[in-house]
Chains A and B, each alone.
Chain A
Amino acid sequence: GENVEQHPSTLSVQEGDSAVIKCTYSDSASNYFPWYKQELGKGPQLIIDIRSNVGEKKDQRIAVTLNKTAKHFSLHITETQPEDSAVYFCAASISASKIIFGSGTRLSIRP
């Protein structure tokens, strides 16, 4: 069935360093790949997304890359700051309104 795998499950980086989270998806029909950030007590918030016709997208310190052939996509956060600490979810949209989420990565930024 449809599946999205996300690694690592936890990630701790020094403030100012970069963080990378990787996901793979199973259904080659997936065409929309959002990334969400979830802080304690809140719902997920979209931070960046990419469509299957684009290989890379960047928004300030955040970038996402997509390799359709390998069915991989990754989130890159540069110059990490304490407020980047949260749980991050990747997701893949296979049909118009159904999003399959990865299992999440708990990112901790060490001061």
Chain B
Amino acid sequence: KAGVTQTPRYLIKTRGQQVTLSCSPISGHRSVSWYQQTPGQGLQFLFEYFSETQRNKGNFPGRFSGRQFSNSRSEMNVSTLELGDSALYLCASSLDFLAGANEQFFGPGTRLTVL
């Protein structure tokens, strides 16, 4: 069974640009969560999608957005990039928290560098 895949693995952008990151969950998993990981702030929850609907959201500005497609694949978008957005962006999938399946499987992440 293939794991969670994220593309691209590395990305370099400049301030003001926008970026789209992609996540393909494990087959059969319908819940996809996104996290930002930085040395200073650690792992912070961005948002979670289930059946194409955003079910939960962390404390990030509106420049951070996401969506989920009918095949459960998810994308996140960051607009008007700032230097502080440089981070490892992690995607995690699970069967469904509400069904009691709490275990999240993480992808390898996308390393975003903003210059």
A97 near B106 with CB under 8 A, answer no
Indicate if the CB atoms of A43 and B102 lie closer than 8 Å.
no
Instruction: Please measure, in the bound complex, the distance between the C-alpha atom of A99 and the C-alpha atom of B93, giving whole angstroms.
Output: 12
Which bracket fits the contact residues of B? 20 to 34
**Which of A41, A45, A95, A103 touches B42 (beta carbons < 8 Å)?**
A103
B42 touches A104 (CB 8 A): yes
Within 8 Å by CB of A101, from B42, B50, B56, B108, lies: B42
Chain B residue contacts of A101, Cβ below 8 A: 35, 42-45
Residues of chain A having any CB pair with chain B under 8 Å: 32, 34, 36, 41-46, 49, 89, 93, 95-104
4 other A-B residue contacts (CB within 8 Å) besides A36-B106, A41-B108, A97-B33: A44-B90, A46-B103, A89-B42, A101-B43
